[in-house]
Structure 1
Amino acid sequence: MIVLSEESQRTSGKDAQNMNITAGKAVAESVRTTLGPKGMDKMLVDSGGSVVVTNDGVTILKEMDIDHPAANMIVEVSETQEDEVGDGTTSAVVVAGELLDQAEELLDQDIHATTLAQGYRQAAEKAKEILEEDAIEVTEDDRETLVEIAQTAMTGKGAENSKDLLADLVVDAVLAVKDEDGIDTENVSVEKVVGSSIDQSELVEGVIVDKERVDENMPYAVEDANVALFDGAIEVKETEIDAEVNVTDPDQLQQFLDQEEEQLREMVDHLVDIGADVVFVGDGIDDMAQHYLAQEGILAVRRAKSDDLKRLARATGGRVVSNLEDIESDDLGFAGSVAQKDVGGDERIFVEDVEEAKSVTLILRGGTEHVVDEIERAIDDSLGVVRTTLLDGQVLPGGGAPEAELALQLRDFADSVGGREQLAVEAFADALEVIPRTLAENAGLDPIDSLVDLRSRHDGGEFGAGLDAYTGDVIDMEAEGVVEPLRVKTQAIESATEAAVMILRIDDVIAAGDLKGGGSDDDGDEPAGGPGGAGGMGGMGGMGGMGGAM
């Protein structure tokens, strides 16, 4: 009996597992060289010719345009990590790939996939317990640690040379937008300026709106400004229905025009009456209204984005109003300075000197567009980790120290686990050592020597012992100031484990069309796109053949 259509393709049993594991490992392999302070960058070129140069794991995987369904599960690990904590995306993917690699060996020894899944889950739970017990407490007042966390997130990225300055700016920005509802890093706006050096980046305690004043006769700058925020248009309202006006006399036309002008004049007079010095409008401003506003010395900006209006409301203490007639003086915000300034050849409106800047703007500068884009990605990661640290109040040493400690303790834990799950727990411990091993490889060090030193120090009770990628020594990471949030590690382990378990439990792949790659080659010796290649990803060639080039 034929159940599936002729175009369908079905792979089941060991073949399906091997295909999916190969795809997952290939994704991990593609970003592995970017891990750590000595990680390399990837150049990604899309079909339109635009170029992205980065070593940010999630950015690489998004740009690679991966089609293979199992490979996409590993990509989702990096996206989850990015959304939850903002950093550790490469680590999470590399761990997921190594869990699959270790599982492949056990599957070849006829250990069932569900046994592996159970062992992996037990190991992940135990790993989280161990990390939570050993975490270091941090408070909002411990500024030095917060700066170190921001610096660690930038290490190995394009911003590394100026990480001292940028880390300070990041910590100031996050502390500024913190309120009783928590910390929303969306309130830290980032403005990129090509030109000048990274060292000239700065934090503006207020909002920069990428607009200009609507009329040349309006003031360039207003001091001690009352700011009105109107999410509408300063224009004569059109009728709700199609209307036709028959004019039989020129005086009638003039009356009609005078009436429109009168309406606009009343709108502007209302703003004058409530004491507005600056008005940000979400929609258009009629030419005549612009003239009246300029006459009154009011600085007006039109077509401000709704996000900008929200940020302005947070920064100035004003309220966004959707009906101009409803604006009262109580709805106005206040800023010590609202001025139009030149930034990198573009005119923008700066709203500064606010009483309590709950919305701030980072101006990032760099020599080229690619440099500025990569700095922005590094800043995004840093904002995420500082926010996470402030919310959770717990950090861990970096440099592969947590993974080395987990590997040691999980091997001891494996002895207490009954049945074949014990082998899965041991495999999990081995998989976690991929992080310090990769850090050593990417730094040009001998991974075996580095791992032996790390294991020896952790066996002696040094939880903070990690690998210094610059010198090759094993040092106390906490004392050196290399720390990262607890949640970066726990989330990475959780996401990587879930993705690996889900892939391992698949024993049948039914595709409506041709499922590219991932099978055996013609000789049946090795899966296509095996450990060294990316062919098994199927569809990773979306970036102009990137799949085969990784």
Structure 2
Amino acid sequence: MIVLSEDSQRTSGKDAQTMNISAGKAVAESVRTTLGPKGMDKMLVDSGGSVVVTNDGVTILKEMDIDHPAANMIVEVSETQEDEVGDGTTSAVVIAGELLDQAEELLDSDIHATTIAQGYRQAAEKAKEIVEEQAIDVSADDREKLLQIASTAMTGKGAEGAKDLLAELVVDAILAVQDDDGIDIENVNVEKVVGGSIDTSELIEGVVVGKERVHDNMPYGVEDAKIAVFDGALEVKETEIDAEVNVTDPSQLQEFLDQEEAQLQEMVDQLVDADVDVVFVGDGIDDMAQHYLAEAGIIAARRVKDSDLKAVARSTGARVISNLDDLTEDDLGFAGSVAQKDIGGDERLFVEDVEDAKSVTLVVRGGTEHVVDEVERAIEDSLGVVRATLEDGKVLPGGGAPETELALQLRDFADSVGGREQLAVEAFADALEVIPRTLAENAGLDSIDSLVELRSRHDGGEFGAGLDAYTGDVIDMEAEGVVEPLRVKTQAIESATEAAVMILRIDDVIAAGDLRASTDDDDDDMPAGGGMGGMGGMGGMGGMGGAM
């Protein structure tokens, strides 16, 4: 009896597991060399020729054209890590890949996938308990520790040369936007400027709006500015129905034009009456309205993005209004200075010297567009980890220290686990050691010697002992200031485990149609279990055009 269509392909049992595991491992392997302070960069070239150079795990995986469904589950691990913490994306993916690798060996030894899944879940829960017990408390007042966390997140990335300065800017930015509701990173605007060096990046306690004043006769700047934020248009309203105006006399046309001008003048008069110095408009501004605004000495910007309007409002204390008839002085914001300045060859409006900046702007500079983009990614990671630290108040040493300690304690824990799950817990412990091992490999060190030394130090009770990738020595990471939020580790372990378990529990893959159709040239890459055509070969990665 034929159930599936002729175009459908089905792979089941061991072949399906092998195929999916191979796809997951391939994703992890693609980012593994980027891990750590001495990780390498990837150049990603899309079909349109656009180039991205980065060692940021989630950026690499997003840019890669991956079609394989199991491989995409691993990509989702990095995206979850990015959303929840902002850093540790590569670690999470590498751990997931290693869990699959260890599971493959257990499957070959006739350990059932469900048994492996149960063992992995037990190990993950125990691992989270261990790191939470060992975590170091950090208070919001401990600026030095916050700087260390921000700096650690940038190590090994394009911003490393100026990480001390950027760490200061990141911590200042997070502390500025923190309020009773928590920390919303959306209130830290990152403005990229090509030109100058990374060292000239700065924090503006206010907002940089990427717009110019709309009329040359408007002042370039104003001190002690009262600011209106208007998300409408300073234009004559159009009727909502189709209408025709029949003009039989030239004087009628003039009356019609005069009436339009009067409406525009009335709008500007409303701003003048409210004593407005600067107005940011979300939509257009009529040419005649621009003239009237310039005559009144009001600086105006048009077609300002919604995000910028909200940022200006939050920073200056203004309220976003939709109707000028409702405008009162209570709706206005205040800034010590609003001025149009040249930055990197572009004119922008700087809203500065605000009393309590709850929205700030990080101006990121660099010699080329690729440099600026990579610095921006490093800063976003750093913002995420500082926020996570302030929210949770707990950190862990870096340099592979937590993973080595977890591997040690999980092996002891495995003895208390009954049945075959014990083997899965031991495999989980082995998988976690992929982090210190990869750090050593990427630094050009002997991974076996490094692991032996790390295990020895942790066995002696040194929880903070981690690998210094620059010297090859095992040192106290906390004393050295290499720390990262607890949430980076717990989230990575949780996401990696869930993805690995989900992939392992799949024993039947049914595809409607040939997923390999567009990438026939990749047949050599097919792993065992090729009954699915080319699914096992991660066909979609062919879209990278060999950029990796």
Q: Do these two structures clear the TM 0.5 threshold for a shared fold by scoring above it? A: yes
Moved more, 121-130 or 251-260: 251-260
Deviation at 1:364, TM superposition (A): 0.7
**Secondary structure at 1:212 match in 2:** coil
Match of 1:469 in 2: 469
1:324-473 counterparts in 2 under 5 A?
324-473=324-473
Opposite residue 142 of structure 1, the aligned amino acid is D
- Runs of 4 or more consecutive aligned structure 1 residues displaced over 3 Å after TM superposition: 515-518, 520-528
Q: How many residues align?
A: 541
Q: CA deviation at 1:523?
A: 13
SS at match of 1:381: helix
- The answer to whether the Cα contact below 8 Å between 2:16 and 2:529 also exists between their aligned partners in 1 is no
**In structure 1, how many angstroms separate the alpha carbons of the residues matched to 2:528 and 2:73?**
23
2:181 matched residue in structure 1? 181
Question: Counterpart amino acid of 2:60?
Answer: I
Counterpart mapping for 1:104-503 below 5 A? 104-503=104-503
Q: Is the 8 A contact 1:22 1:527 kept in 2?
A: no
Q: 1:202 to 1:522 in 2, by over 3 A?
A: closer
Structure 2 unaligned regions, length at least 5: none
Cα separation, 2, equivalents of 1:248 and 1:17: 82
Q: Deviations over 1:386-418 (max 9, x none)?
A: 011011110000000000000000000000000
Residue identity matched to 1:337: S
Q: Percent identity?
A: 85
The answer as to whether partners of 1:527 and 1:536 remain within 8 angstroms in 2 is no
Find the counterpart in structure 1 of residue 541 from structure 2.
540
Distance 2:523 2:177 in 1: 55
Alpha-carbon contact 2:340-2:349 (below 8 Å) kept = yes
Deviations 1:264-291 (A, max 9, x none): 1111111111110100111111111111
Q: Measure the CA separation in 2 of the matches of 1:47 and 1:287.
A: 42
Distance 1:337 1:355, change over 3 A: same
Q: Would the aligned equivalents of 2:11 and 2:529 in 1 still touch at CA under 8 Å?
A: no
Task: Give 2:52's aligned residue.
Answer: 52
Q: Deviations over 1:468-488 (max 9, x none)?
A: 000101000000000000000
What is the deviation of 1:259?
A: 1.2
TM-aligned CA distance change 1:523 to 1:288, over 3 Å: closer
Deviates more, 1:187-196 or 1:474-483: 187-196
DSSP 3-state at the match of 1:289: helix
Q: Can you list the C-alpha shifts for 1:359-388, whole angstroms capped at 9, x where unaligned?
A: 000111111111111000000100000011
Partner SS for 1:303: coil
Structure 2 CA distance, aligned partners of 1:385 and 1:113? 35
User: CA offsets, 1:10-32, max 9 Å, x none?
Assistant: 00000000000000001000000
Give, in whole Å, the separation in 2 of the partners of 1:350 and 1:386.
Answer: 26
For each residue in 1:427-475, what CA deviation from the matched residue of structure 2 results, as whole angstroms up to 9, or x when unmatched? 0000000000000000000000000000000000000000000010100
Q: Kindly indicate whether the alpha-carbon contact (under 8 Å) linking 1:43 and 1:51 is maintained by their aligned counterparts in 2.
A: yes
Give distance in 1, aligned partners of 2:237 and 2:529.
67
Rounded Cα–Cα distance in structure 1 between residues aligned with 2:239 and 2:47: 47
Question: 2 CA distance for matches of 1:274 and 1:243?
Answer: 34
Deviation at 1:4, TM superposition (A): 0.4
Cα RMSD of the aligned pairs, angstroms, is: 1.6
CA displacement at 1:538 relative to structure 2:
2.1
Q: Which residue of 2 aligns with 1:63?
A: 63
2:303 is paired with a residue whose SS is: coil
Match of 1:31 in 2: 31
Equivalents in 2 of 1:423, 1:266: separation in Å? 79
Which residue is equivalent to 1:100?
100
C-alpha deviation, 1:525, in angstroms = 9.0
Cα distance in 2 between the residues matched to 1:55 and 1:289: 49
Find the aligned partners of 2:228 and 2:292 in 1 and give their Cα distance.
Answer: 16
Amino acid at match of 1:62: K
Change (3 A) 1:525 1:159: closer
**Letter of the aligned partner of 1:331 in structure 2?**
D
CA distance in 1, matches of 2:536, 2:44: 17
Contact persistence 2:22–2:527 (CA under 8 A): no
Deviation at 1:542, TM superposition (A): 1.0
Q: Is the 8 A contact 1:88 1:492 kept in 2?
A: yes
Separation in 2 of the partners of 1:19 and 1:460?
41
Q: Give, in angstroms, the shift of residue 245 of structure 1.
A: 1.3
The answer on whether the counterparts of 1:9 and 1:515 sit within 8 Å (CA) in structure 2 is: no
Question: Take 2:527 and 2:502, find their aligned partners in 1: how far apart are those partners?
Answer: 26
Quick one: distance in 2 between partners of 1:69 and 1:443? 33
Structure 1: unaligned runs, 5 residues or longer: 529-533
Counterpart of 1:531?
none
Shift of 1:545: 3.3
537-546 or 503-512: bigger deviation: 537-546
Q: What SS does the aligned partner of 1:380 have?
A: helix
Aligned pairs for 1:78-97 within 5 A: 78-97=78-97
Looking at structure 2, the residues matched to 103 and 364 of structure 1 have their Cα atoms a distance apart, in angstroms, of 44
Residue 251 (structure 1) shift: 1.5
SS of 1:445's partner is: coil
Distance 1:42 1:527, change over 3 A: farther
Q: Is the 8 A contact 1:521 1:527 kept in 2?
A: no
Matched, 1:14 2:14: yes
What CA distance in whole angstroms lies between the structure 2 residues aligned with 1:360 and 1:178? 11
Give the Cα separation in 2 of the matches to 1:488 and 1:457: 23
